[in-house]
Amino acid sequence: MHRTLLAAKIHSCTITDANLQYMGSISIDELLLKAVGIVPYEQVHVVNVNNGERFVTYAIAAEPGSGAIELNGAAARLGVKGDKLIIMTYAQFDELAAPQHHPQVVIVDDLNRITKLQSYIPTGLN
C-alpha cells in the first residue's frame, strides 16, 4: 500500500498579484520553490486563509528574490492581493518509507521572505 503524505509547504505567504488574463497556474518566487523542493510545473494545492478557497494548479517559477506569489488565469478569481496562502505538495510513499518522511516547510514574512525553514517530524508513529 502507498500513502499520500505532505511533501512540501510554503506557509503564510502573501498574494502579490492576480493576473486573470494569464493562461493559468501560480507564480512563486524561485527561492521559495527551491527552499522546499517544489519544481516548476509541479502540482500544488493552494489554500486561501482569508476566504477559505482551496484549489489545485501548478507552480511556475517567478524571479528569485522577488517575493512574487501571483495567482494566474482562473485562479486569479480565488484571491486578492494581500490574502494569505498556504501552498502544499504531496507525494506517494510506501509503508516502509512513510514513517521516515519529513515534509519540508518554509515560513515567510509579509514580503514573502524566508523567516524559517524546517522539517516536520512525525509524532506518534511506531
The residues annotated with a catalytic role in the active site are 25, 58
| Cα–Cα distance, 19 to 24 (Å, whole number) | 9
Burial of residue 32 (number of CB atoms within 10 Å: 0-12, 13-18, 19+): buried
Confirm or deny that 35 is annotated as ligand binding: no
Q: Which residues pair with 105 in a beta bridge?
A: 9, 118
**Separation of alpha carbons 98 and 92, rounded Å:** 9
Residue 73 annotated as lining a ligand binding site: yes
Annotated binding-site residue? 57: yes
75 is in an annotated binding site: yes
Known binding-site residue numbers: 57, 73-75
Known binding-site residue numbers for substrate: 57, 73-75
